[in-house]
Amino acid sequence: MGVGGASRLTEKVAEILDKYPGGIKLIDSIEYLVTWARANSLWPLVYGTACCAMEMMATGSSRHDWARFGVEVARATPRQADLIILAGTIVEKMGGNLITLYKQMPAPKYVIAMGSCAISGGPFYYDAYSVIKGGDRLIPVDVYVPGCPPRPEALLYGIMELQKKIKEEGRRKPWKIGKLLKVPFIDPHTLAKEDWAMLEQKKESRQQQAREQFKTDNPDYRPPKPTRLPKEKFAVVPRMQLSTTGRENEHLFSIIQNSWPAISLFRQPDIRPETVAELGPEYILDLEVEQEHYLDLVRFLKEDKELGMDMLLQLTAVDWHDHFDIIVHLLSSKNGYKIFLRSPVTKAKPEIVTISTLFLGAEWHEREVYDLFGIRFDGHPDMRRLFLNDDFPGHPLCKDFEDPERVVKRPY
């Protein structure tokens, strides 16, 4: 039979056997036997990146049980797997690994693209700079199973479709590595609109006289009123007052004020501890501080006995077009209140001191901010990109990030 199906040897054997009376039947029965075996013993690779992997596991669980189809022994090594189910989003950084996995698998191998992300990038089609729009741009896909995520029954239906496709293989239709989709990322929405607009122009000219003729013979034509769906009306409900948060703002602010007199709240220049209360019970103190005092204020907030902000929630940044804002969220695990702290960073010199000496968790947060905004943290033990490849052009979360090759702008 040969791995790829119809190799030259099988061609010659087929010709010799065709002459004998039962020859054709012998070859066809062997082909049927082999394709029956391949179809009924598909061993999937243990590969799942995102939400579709949960539905793939549900298909393997007791209720849907894909073992009934012989698809049970999920192998962890690509060497023994002959089916990849692309369950989840394929990201640019994972693309190389996926191609390696596909090349490591012995032929004949099959691929099922499961879920909208693997078919076309799904929810991450527009404005996503790191998602590959569809698995068939990297490895040839045999069956597409739409859904987000598709039900286990839909995946089982997809597997049955793949079994049908395998059973048709033979020396007339040998198994071959399929073709890839080489189309650049285009926006199907606007394309459809443009094509339709051209169609409309042509139709417009053709229908001109038909319209006059229609207008003449029933001048008082009143178009039928479309019936609107009765929408259920609900009453306005006042917001429930939460019991604990917010009360301590004056107390907190007065503690900070007396050791940091120059401190001010974000967008509240003339604030005093007394007037903090009317900012509302759910207002969380949002301190603003220059770069110089940034590290000392964080150390003060952490080490002060009364405040005791011992947990770093997160460290992130906001790009205000003219400057960045480094934002630090702190939480006190003993008494539960939170304090936010921000410090402006100019776009000319995007650098600030690291606080990973105080909070070890800040190391990853700072690497993420460097990766997505380009703000360096001096004194950081391991200043590397966290999510993207090192050769990624630019820093994507900045407002002025443009990359026509990767990003498809949202049409509306």
Partner 1 sequence: MNLQPVNNHRPDRNYIPPGFKNAINDDETSEEYFLNMGPQHPSTHGVLRLVVKLNGENVLEVVPHLGYVHRSVEKVAENQTYLQNIHLTDRLDYLSSHINNLGYCLAIEQALDIGVPERGEYIRVMVSELQRIQSHLLWWGVSGMDLGAVTTFLYGFKEREIITDIFEELCGARLTMNFFRPGGSFADVPNTFIPRVRDVIKRMHLALDEYKILLTDNIIFRERTRAIGILSREKALSYGCSGAVLRASGVSYDVRRNDPYSIYDRFDFEVPTGTVGGCFDRYQLKMEEMAQSVRILEQAVETFPNGPYRSREMPAYKLPRGIYYSQVETARGLLGTYIVAEGGPKPYRVKFRSPCFSNLSALNEMAAGHKIADLVTILATLDFVVPEIDR
Partner 2 sequence: MNQLPTNHAFPTHNAIGELIRHLFPGGAVYINGFLTIASLLLLVSILPVFLIWLERKVAAHFQARLGPMRVGYHGLLQSTADGLKLIFKEVLKPEGADTFVFFLAPTLPATATFLVMTILPFDRHLQVADPAGGVVYALGVSSLSILGILLAGWASNNKYSLLGAMRSGAQMISFEISLALIMLLIVMLTGTASLREIVLSQNGTILDWWIFKLPFLGLIAFVMYMISSTAELNRAPFDISEAESELTGGFATEYSGISFAMFFFAEFVNMFVSAGLATTFFLGGFLAPQIGIGAIDAAFNFIPGFIWFFLKTFLVIFLYMWFRWTFPRVRVDQLMYLEWKMLLPANLVLLMSSGFFLAMGWIL
Partner 3 sequence: MKSSFTQSNHQCKVGNYLQKIIMGFTSLLKGMGVTIRYFVSPAKIVTQQYPENRETLRMMARFRGRLIMLHDENDKHNCTACGICEKACPNATISVLPTKDLAGRKVLGRYIYRLSQCTLCNLCVEACPFGAISMGQEFEFAVYDRERLTLILNKTQGH
Near partner 3 in 89-118, by CB under 8 A = 116
**In whole angstroms, how far apart are CA 200 and each of 98, 189, 210, 211, 288?**
44, 17, 15, 15, 57
Window 13 to 42, contacts with partner 1 (CB under 8 A): none
- Check binding of 72 to partner 3 (CB under 8 A): no
- Check binding of 94 to partner 1 (CB under 8 A): yes
Q: Which of 23, 38, 69, 92 binds partner 1 (CB under 8 A)?
A: 92
Whole-number Å distance between alpha carbons of 145 and 140: 14
CA angle 133-180-37, nearest 5°?
A: 110
Whole-number Å distance between alpha carbons of 185 and 183: 7
- Check binding of 186 to partner 2 (CB under 8 A): no
Whole-number Å distance between alpha carbons of 401 and 395: 7
Partner from partner 2, partner 3, partner 1, none contacting 309, C-beta within 5 to 8 A by type: none
Binding residues with partner 3: total (CB under 8 A): 59
Q: How far is the CB of 31 from partner 3 (least distance, A)?
A: 20
Nearer to partner 1 (CB atom), residue 14 or residue 397: 397
Whole-number Å distance between alpha carbons of 245 and 284: 9
Nearer to partner 3 (CB atom), residue 41 or residue 245: 41
Nearer to partner 2 (CB atom), residue 75 or residue 338: 75
- Check binding of 41 to partner 2 (CB under 8 A): yes
Element (H, E) at 351: strand 351-353
Q: How far is the CB of 40 from partner 2 (least distance, A)?
A: 4
Nearer to partner 1 (CB atom), residue 169 or residue 319: 319
CA angle 116-121-125, nearest 5°?
A: 125
CB 329 within 8 A of CB 284: no
Window 164 to 193, contacts with partner 3 (CB under 8 A): 165, 181, 187-189, 192-193
Window 203 to 242, contacts with partner 3 (CB under 8 A): 203-204, 207, 210-211, 214-215, 221, 223-224, 226-229, 231
Q: Which of 198, 240, 262, 348 binds partner 1 (CB under 8 A)?
A: 240
DSSP 8-state code for residue 378: E
Whole-number Å distance between alpha carbons of 258 and 354: 26
Element (H, E) at 30: helix 23-40
- Check binding of 388 to partner 1 (CB under 8 A): yes
- Check binding of 310 to partner 1 (CB under 8 A): yes
Q: How far is the CB of 135 from partner 2 (least distance, A)?
A: 22
Here the tokens at position 89 are: 């989003």
- Check binding of 360 to partner 1 (CB under 8 A): yes
Q: How far is the CB of 154 from partner 3 (least distance, A)?
A: 4
Whole-number Å distance between alpha carbons of 13 and 345: 75
Q: Which of 190, 200, 210, 307 is nearest to 251 (CA)?
A: 307
- Check binding of 62 to partner 2 (CB under 8 A): yes
- Check binding of 196 to partner 3 (CB under 8 A): yes
Q: How many CB atoms lie within 10 A of CB 10?
A: 19
Q: Which of 9, 24, 26, 37 binds partner 2 (CB under 8 A)?
A: 37
Element (H, E) at 9: helix 8-19
Q: Which of 44, 48, 78, 121 binds partner 3 (CB under 8 A)?
A: 121
Q: Which of 43, 15, 183, 153 is nearest to 105 (CA)?
A: 43
The secondary structure of the chain in percent helix, strand, coil, rounded to multiples of 5, reads 40, 15, 45
Window 71 to 100, contacts with partner 2 (CB under 8 A): 72-73, 75-77, 79-80, 82
Binding residues with partner 2: total (CB under 8 A): 29
Whole-number Å distance between alpha carbons of 308 and 311: 9
Residue ranges that bind partner 2, judged by CB under 8 A: 1, 3, 33-34, 36-38, 40-41, 61-63, 65, 67-70, 72-73, 75-77, 79-80, 82, 104, 106-108
